[in-house]
Every structure is written in structure tokens, then in C-alpha cells.
Amino acid sequence: MAYRWINTLTDKDVTPHAAFMNRRQIMGGALAGIGLAGIAGRTSAAPEGLEPNSYEDITSYNNYYEFGTGKDDPARYADRLTIEPWTVQIDGLVDKPGAYGFDDIMQQMTIEERIYRFRCVEAWSMVVPWNGFELADLLNMAGVQSGAKYVSFETALRPDEMPGVAYNVLDWPYVEGLRLDEAMHPLTIMATGIYGKDIPKQNGAPLRLVVPWKYGYKSIKSVVRITLTDTQPPTSWNKANAGEYGFYSNVNPEVDHPRWSQASERVIGGGLFSKRIPTLMFNGYEAEVADLYAGMDVSKDI
């Protein structure tokens, strides 16, 4: 699609911080016709050297229970999902509720690359070079009303296309939620691509939430509905097991899952050389997001 562009920033150039801080400059430069190679050559603060996982790793080791609970089930079965046409219902406390077509959304959004850490609650992790847009831009397009305090999200429910929904492992459709300030945070994106290609179905085509400082299950796939509300919305894993999965689900190495440690994580990929690394507070995004939780006890409000 012509409106998608891939920047040539290396992982060293796009630290999570620099990526969102430089967004407007990057887009301004691109629109003004400044070569992207020039942008890649700019200096950026505090390079972290995040090493993205391979496309193969990211698209073959998945959680998408609508297609089965095995890690390879989504890659095997998600091709059954029809993604054209696709509409996202945006409703609740917004000025312009309605059914927004995916292509219309894409034409209005600024697509950029974000290289983010991704940490599943099961204690494995990857680094993913997403393409996508800020959720805040989409919510602002719909016009968030002053009474809105939370955002709820819903995945498509297609029994004919999703073999996994025949099993009651979760209460379908998959639903998730964020507090409005979390949803509006510049690190929160709707991902529409990986490595510059349209996001594969097993990863949540055609658009899925990515909240990099929270456990992976918050990053709901194949979103068909976004509702602005004044009450905290139900979330699938919390409904399934409230003792193990809270609403916030912020990555916190100091708070263990009742059944395993969260202090470290297994890095996917590398075969025999796969390693365990320490898990970082807020998955490494503490400087950007800790303020959102000022006054909360993050060891209790899990």
C-alpha cells in the first residue's frame, strides 16, 4: 500500500524513547522529501541496541487462542481469518461514533516503525519491529468525550474461521481494556505491520493493540470494536482467573506470578544459544510510563 513507508532507522537509532520523541520530525522530514538515509544518520540519545527477533520467530511462535492454544497453531490456522473488508466500531463516549473502515483509518493515520520489547506473562520475550500508528491519534479522530475514563477493546469472533473458539478456554470474544491515560500514551500503538510488511494474521491482522510495558495478553489482536467508557471494562484473562491476571498487568519483575517467577525471561530465538535475561520494571519503559502509576502501589494493583 502506497501510504505505508518503512524507515531505514536501525535499532540503534530507534530507541523506544527516541522513536516517539522524534516522530513528528521524522514524518516532517519524510513529507518534506528529506532522504530517509539522512534521518538514519542523525544522532539519537541513549541507543539501547535492541536486537529485533527474526521475522520467522515473530510469526511462528504466537499466542492467539482463537486459533488454538499451541504456539504453532496461529501460524497454521489463522490464514482462515477474512480481513477484507475490515471495520472497527468506535463507540461509547466519543463525538463521532461509527463503523470506521480499516483503509479509511490507514489513510488518516501516520504509520511509523517502533522497535519494542514484548514480554509475555509466560516469561518469554521478543523484540519486534512493529509498524503502526498511535492509538491516541485514532481516539482523537473519533473525539474522546470528557466523561471517558477507560477504553475497551474487542477481537473479532468468527466461529467459522476460528477453530479455537469451539473450546471454552476463554469467554469469547477476547476483550481487553486500558485506562484512558494509558491508551493515550505515545508508546501505545495499533500495529498494522511487522518488518514493513502487513501484519500477519497470526500476529493480529489487520490491526492489533501493542502496549509495550504490559504483559503481552493486554495487546489484543484483530480489533473490531473500541469503546470509550466511564467504568473499568472486563478483560479476558482477568475473567478467566482473577487471582493470576489483574487489570493493569504491568510488567514487574518483583511481583511473581502465583505459579512462576517473573524475575527473568527466555528470549525467543537463537536455538541452542537462546538465553535468559533479567526482566525490567515496566519492561524497560519505566522512564516513560512510571508517572502514570504515581500514587498506586504497583506491587498490589497488578
Ligand X SMILES: Nc1nc2c(c(=O)[nH]1)N[C@H]1C(S)=C(S)[C@@H](COP(=O)(O)O)O[C@H]1N2
Task: List the binding residues for Mo-molybdopterin.
Answer: 62, 65-66, 120, 155, 203, 208, 219-221
Q: How far is the CB of 204 from ligand X (least distance, A)?
A: 6
Q: Is the peptide bond before 186 cis (omega within 30 degrees of 0)?
A: no
187 binds Mo ion (CB under 5 A): no
CB 64 within 8 Å of CB 77? no
Q: Which of 86, 217, 237, 248 binds Mo ion (CB under 5 A)?
A: 217
- The residues, any chain, with a CB within 8 Å of residue 102's CB and separated by 6 or more, are 83, 85, 86, 87, 88, 206, 207
Q: Which is nearer to ligand X, 40 or 169 (CB)?
A: 169
In the range 55-114, which residues lie near ligand X by CB under 6 A? 62-66
Q: Residue 155 binds what, of ligand X, Mo ion, none (CB under 5 to 8 Å, by partner type)?
A: ligand X
Instruction: Collapse the DSSP code of 215 into the 3-class scheme (helix H, G, I; strand E, B; otherwise coil) and give the result.
Output: coil
Question: Out of Mo ion, ligand X, none, which partner does residue 221 contact, by CB within 5 to 8 A per kind?
Answer: ligand X
β-bridge pairing 197-198 and 150-155: unpaired
165-to-66, 68, 162 alpha-carbon distances in Å: 5, 8, 6
Q: Is 216 in the site for ligand X (CB under 6 A)?
A: yes
**Shortest distance, CB of residue 17 to Mo ion, whole angstroms?**
25
Instruction: Take residue 198 and report the three cell numbers written for it.
Output: 502487513
Choose the stretch contacting ligand X; rule: CB under 6 A; options: 18-26, 211-219, 238-246, 294-302. 211-219
Per rule CB under 6 A, is residue 120 in the interface with ligand X? Answer: yes
- State the nearest-atom distance from the C-beta of 64 to ligand X, in Å: 5
Contacts of 57 (CB under 8 A, 6+ apart): 126, 268, 269
Per CB under 6 A, does 249 bind ligand X?
no
